Amino acid sequence: MNIVFDFGAVLFDWQPAQLVAQHFPERGATPGQARKLAHSLFDHADWRGFDHGTVTLDQVVSRTALRLELSEDRLHDALAPIGERLAPIACNIELLAGLRERQGSRGGIRLYFLSNMPEPFARALERRHAFLQWFDGGIFSSDVKLGKPDPAIFRLLASRYRLAGADTLFIDDSLTNVQAADALGWQTIHCEAPQQLPGQLMNKLGW
């Protein structure tokens, strides 16, 4: 079984509404306002370009600040350190460690990742977290100029590591991404609450 992990909100804590509320309290005074601002910032073509490695940090900051009428300096202060500040979700790193220990005894488990991640954040994670070396392979979107939910990035991962869809389980917090994997014949888990993932995965694997 090949198990493919997303990173944000699966293995790393990612709460964009809290991030914007912290840096722009006047625009995110209520949870609803914070969610709306986060959606406008992160669910936009400029941010997707940053994820895909076609837009730089400085470009996404300047474009977004202008579009949303935000302070460019404050926006840079909010976005630039994200890669350094993404914190591992302890229960799911423990899960990953357990899967690694069972690789030789539970039907040939292999571990991969598929993450929409801007290049500077990807490099920061690689530098800071030794457990990324536990994976047998993986793809960051910015390294290949593609991103989920584009089927091309799923096919690239599958071809690069010779993954058969029926033997591949994909885990992501985004329903759109999960549906893209479903359409390719992959098994999937929609991770809506990270702390529930260990139980979801054990149930899926029948352990």
* pLDDT tens, residue by residue, 108-153: 899 999 999 999 999 999 999 999 999 999 999 999 999 999 999 9
pLDDT score of 106 more than 70: no
**CATH classification of 2-13+86-205 is 3.40.50.1000, yes or no?**
yes
Decide: 51 and 117 in contact? Cβ < 8 Å: yes
Domain locations in the chain as residue ranges: 2-13+86-205, 16-85
- Average the pLDDT over 174-202 and give the result: 98
Mark residue 56 as left, alpha or beta (left: phi above 0; alpha: psi -120 to 50; beta: remaining): beta
| Average pLDDT along the chain | 96
For 19, residues 6+ apart whose C-beta sits below 8 A from its C-beta are 38, 78, 82
Give the confidence band of 101 by pLDDT, cuts at 50, 70, 90: confident
Q: Of 176, 147, 177, which is closest to residue 52 (Cα–Cα)? A: 147
pLDDT at position 105: 56
pLDDT at position 103: 75
pLDDT at position 107: 57
pLDDT at position 104: 61
pLDDT score of 198 more than 90: yes
pLDDT at position 4: 98
Q: Of 125, 120, 142, which is closest to residue 76 (Cα–Cα)? A: 120
